[in-house]
């Protein structure tokens, strides 16, 4: 980073957005955080509110926004299945109308624009690990479709604005990421299991627990965001960002139980529909183009996350 930039972060009061805002403020940039507080909270950015180079705006990205900025990180969108399925029409609107509004803003201001896309664009993948040239295996009419197809359409819009209007776009496909500032009721697996273990409640394994995910610690991911935004104009993505170390959900539960010294029992319930059976990023592209790879291994990252939730309990 060589000069002070005006940077908009949509969804900036959420889990990932709050870490990104913190990093950008520390680097000395002027940061405007826009959020409708659907799943994010002011608490996540309360430590930044007295910084002169940080501003918090209540705004829903499905409506246009008129501000002057040099860069946009478009993160606004609920990421946890229970939250994005709560109002699926709004989820699609957030991804699609939100992308159109933010791309329009980028077009008017000439800003570089980053899109927080997702491994969900691969659906329940038939290629393993997932490479960026895999087009995916996605149900267009299921309960996860509002999120998966919304994000796929947003990617289409980003690349059409790039081809048609020559916007500088940066599309990251983010794989499961965890860390402090996840909401205790977020509903995703890492926060659920840690909260259940700390409270001594049963650990809810969906399905038989043999499905896999690859978990990335948030600090590594934010490094990847900055590396992608700062890459040359020719690097548009999509680029996978995630930690390739893959675990079954049962392995994750057992690790969390042992790290928290919890006596919680494991219980099972049916696997939600269209829940992907395996997921692991191929990050060769990120390594080659961005010189990026994750450094924090699961145990270290879980340790920091458990500490965070212990302070909350
Ligand atoms: P999160 O739910 O904690 O944060 C999302 C933020 O967006 C929240 O602060 C929420 O209030 C805000 N938001 C939602 N709808 C909005 C709207 N219409 N207008 C303005 N703000 C709105 O989730 P997160 O994990 O921080 O995810 C951030 C982004 O990264 C999302 O776009 C998500 O799809 C993407 N992503 C995250 C992961 C992950 O593992 N964390 C994986 C893949 C993709
Ligand atoms: N999961 C689980 N118990 C929970 C929450 C999630 O077994 O309490 C499983 C879920 O079915 C999925 C995996 O953990 O197979 C990851 O779920 P999450 O919602 O974190 O993310 P995503 O499915 O979007 O990757």
CATH number at residue 44: 3.40.50.720
pLDDT band with cut points at 50, 70 and 90 for residue 36:
very high
| pLDDT at 299 > cutoff 90 | yes
d(CA 218, ligand 1 centre) in Å: 13
Confidence at 277, pLDDT banded by 50, 70, 90: very high
- Tell me how long the chain is: 313
Does the beta carbon of 298 lie inside 6 Å of ligand 1? no
Q: Give the pLDDT confidence of 92-114 residue by residue, as tens digits.
A: 999 999 999 999 999 999 999 99
Q: Which residue has the higher pLDDT, 250 or 2?
A: 250
Nearest-ligand number for the alpha carbon of 77? 1
168 within some domain: yes
Per-residue pLDDT, averaged over 37-47, amounts to 97
| d(CA 108, ligand 2 centre) in Å | 39
Residue ID of nearest Cα to ligand 2 atom 25:
176
pLDDT of residue 18: 98
Q: Give the closest residue to 308 by CA, choosing from 10, 13, 15.
A: 15
Assess whether pLDDT exceeds 70 at residue 59: yes
Is 15 within a domain?
Answer: yes
Q: How much of the chain exceeds pLDDT 70, in percent?
A: 99
**Confidence band of 219 (pLDDT split at 50, 70, 90):** very high
* CA–CA gap between residue 63 and residue 122 (Å, rounded): 28
Catalytic residue among 73, 84, 122, 147: 147
Q: Is residue 189 one of the residues assigned to a domain?
A: no
58 found inside a domain: yes
Q: Which residues, including other chains, have CB under 8 Å from residue 3's CB and lie 6 or more apart?
A: none
What pLDDT digit, counting tens, does each position of 72-97 carry?
Answer: 999 999 999 999 999 999 999 999 99
Strand partners, 116: 172
Residue 185 lies in a domain: no
What are the tens digits of pLDDT across the range 111-136?
999 999 999 999 999 999 999 999 99
Say whether pLDDT at 249 is over 90: yes
Using alpha carbons only, give the angle 128, 133, 288 rounded to the nearest 5 degrees. Answer: 90
Is pLDDT at 1 greater than 60 in this prediction? no
DSSP assigned state of 281: B
Say if 122 falls within a structural domain: yes
The residues that bridge with 56 in the sheet, in sequence order, are 33
280 CA distance to ligand 2 centroid (A)?
14
Mean pLDDT of 7-21: 98
What residue has token string 């940066």?
170
Angstrom distance (rounded) from CA 174 to CA 195: 24
Mean pLDDT value of segment 254-263: 98
Nearest protein Cα to ligand 2, atom 16: 189
Average per-residue pLDDT in the chain?
97
Ligand 2, atom 14, residue with closest C-alpha: 189
User: What is the domain range of residue 291?
Assistant: 6-178+216-244+279-295
- Examine residue 239 and state whether it is found in any structural domain, yes or no: yes
- Classify burial at 86, counting beta carbons within 10 Å of its beta carbon; exposed 0-12, middle 13-18, buried 19 or more: middle
- Which class for 208: exposed (0-12), middle (13-18), buried (19 or more C-beta within 10 A)? exposed
Q: What is the pLDDT of residue 2?
A: 55
Rounded Cα distance between 45 and 29, Å, is: 16
Mean pLDDT of all residues in 259-266: 97
Q: Give the DSSP letter string of 202-259.
A: PEEEETTS--EEE-EEHHHHHHHHHHHHTS-TT----EEES---EEEHHHHHHHHHHH
Q: 312 and 185 in contact (C-beta within 8 Å)?
A: no
147 is a catalytic site residue? yes
Q: Domain tally for the chain?
A: 1
* 302 occurs within a structural domain: no
Give the pLDDT band (50/70/90) at residue 312. confident
């Amino acid at each position: 980073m060589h000069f002070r930039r005006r940077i908009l972060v949509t969804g900036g009061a959420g889990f990932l957005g709050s870490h990104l805002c913190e990093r950008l403020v520390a680097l000395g940039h002027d940061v405007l955080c826009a959020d409708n507080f659907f799943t994010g909270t002011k608490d996540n950015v309360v430590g930044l509110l007295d910084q002169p180079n940080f501003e918090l705006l209540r705004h829903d990205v499905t409506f246009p926004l008129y501000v002057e900025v040099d860069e946009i990180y478009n993160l606004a969108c609920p990421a946890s299945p229970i939250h994005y399925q709560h109002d699926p029409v709004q989820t699609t609107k957030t991804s699609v109308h939100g992308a159109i509004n933010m791309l329009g803003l980028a077009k008017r201001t000439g800003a570089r624009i980053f899109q927080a896309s997702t491994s969900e664009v691969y659906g329940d993948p038939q290629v393993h690990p997932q490479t960026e040239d895999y087009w995916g295996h996605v149900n267009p009419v299921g309960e996860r479709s509002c999120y998966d197809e919304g994000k796929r359409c947003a990617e289409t819009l980003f690349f059409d604005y790039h081809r048609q209007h020559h916007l500088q776009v940066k599309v990251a496909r983010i794989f499961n990421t965890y860390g402090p500032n996840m909401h205790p009721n977020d509903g995703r697996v890492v926060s659920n299991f840690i909260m259940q273990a700390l409270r001594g409640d049963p650990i809810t394994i969906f399905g038989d627990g043999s499905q896999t995910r690859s978990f990335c610690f948030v600090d590594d991911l934010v490094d990847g965001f900055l590396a992608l935004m700062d890459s040359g104009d020719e690097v548009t993505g999509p680029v996978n960002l995630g930690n390739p170390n893959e675990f079954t959900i049962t392995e994750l539960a057992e690790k969390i139980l042992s790290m928290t010294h919890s006596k919680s029992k494991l219980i099972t319930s049916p696997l939600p529909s269209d829940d992907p059976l395996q997921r692991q990023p191929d990050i060769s592209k990120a390594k080659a183009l961005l010189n990026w790879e994750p450094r924090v291994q699961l145990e270290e990252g879980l340790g920091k996350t458990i500490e965070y939730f212990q302070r909350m309990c």
